[in-house]
Amino acid sequence: MVYPGAVHTRFEHSLGVMHVATKIFDNIVDQCREMLDSEYGYKEDGLNKVRTIIRLAALLHDVGHPPFSHAGESIMPYKDNGKLYKHEDYSSEIVKTVFKELIEDHKFNNNYGLKAEDVAAFIVKDYKVLKRYLFWTDIISGQVDADRIDYLLRDSYHIGVRYGVFDLDRLLKTIVLINTDDMPILSFKEGGLHVAESLILARYYMFTQVYFHHTRRAYDYHIKNAVKEILVRSGYKDGRMKRPDGKENIYDYLMWDDWKVGNLIKENADIYDCGAILNRDHYRCVYHTNEVPNISDLEKFHVICEKIRNEIDNGSVKFK
């Protein structure tokens, strides 16, 4: 709707994350092999096993995304503690159910004895399962991880902007493992500090200029409401997906992909938000705060919202 070149898929992204995660791991092993052996007992077989787990976790980390990615996360059900499930929870369960036999019975697994549970634990950072693998999870989900590295470069390339660009080769060559009082952590050589800083700035610019673009955010809102109404019409309680409990629920969840929802949006054009998407009649931005609002900005925002709400209630402003 906003960036027509952004037709790349999560499959491309997942391949990219696996590639970058492998590069990070190989560089760490190359530069920190002695420490990994003497302090943590990693021999060749142990390192190969971890490398395989990391590659699988990177490849499968996003298989649990709902239709239309993050815009669809509002349809997640609630946990017993009142918090919403996240796509990582579904990714983990999909790995443990759909991919269990593929992982555990595959010929590459003959020497390693990998369990699907090991791969799933990397995705949700299940500390009880991870144990000695704990510090490796930051390669996939950390402050400077393979996921972030790939989506910034991939999105900026396909969208056609230069905000998310940084020196990938330099970054990968300077990531190392260092000891702390608690456990080893991923860090950078001194020569890599500026490129690490450029990644953080690239992320900031991509969020402010691309991901938070007002029209793009408007369609997030329409998609969220459209999918929820479609789920209600399809018999899902409160317009939310089934919990990630058991194979039946997981396979039901996997049926709800972008193509199915896209067709249902067409079939349910009478729903206001479906019509808004189909006819490109999205909500417009009438006011926004500064990029980093202070207290007075937020107070002004609430005053304006209240004024608009009153005018809508009084009928002086027409609102669909």
Over 80: is that where the pLDDT of 108 sits?
no
**Which residues make Cβ contacts (< 8 Å) with residue 239, sequence separation at least 6?**
75, 227, 228, 229, 231, 232
Which residue, 163, 190, 211, sits at the end of a domain? 211
Give the global pTM.
0.90
Over 90: is that where the pLDDT of 278 sits?
yes
Which residue, 211, 230, 251, sits at the end of a domain? 211
Crossing angle between the packed helical segments 193-206 and 146-159, to the nearest 10 degrees? 50
Based on the fold, state whether residues 86 and 188 are members of the same structural domain: yes
pLDDT, position 144: 85
CATH code, domain carrying 111: 1.10.3210.10
Is position 290 within any domain?
Answer: yes
Could you tell me the pLDDT band of residue 317, with boundaries at 50, 70 and 90?
Answer: low
Based on the fold, state whether residues 167 and 54 are members of the same structural domain: yes
Could you tell me the pLDDT band of residue 109, with boundaries at 50, 70 and 90?
Answer: low
Based on the fold, state whether residues 183 and 309 are members of the same structural domain: no
- Looking at residues 128-145, what average pLDDT do you find? 82
Based on the fold, state whether residues 38 and 136 are members of the same structural domain: yes
Is position 235 within any domain?
Answer: no
Is position 236 within any domain?
Answer: no
Based on the fold, state whether residues 311 and 183 are members of the same structural domain: no
Over 90: is that where the pLDDT of 225 sits?
yes
More confident residue, 111 or 62: 62
Could you tell me the pLDDT band of residue 148, with boundaries at 50, 70 and 90?
Answer: very high
Based on the fold, state whether residues 202 and 72 are members of the same structural domain: yes
- Full domain range(s) for residue 36: 10-211
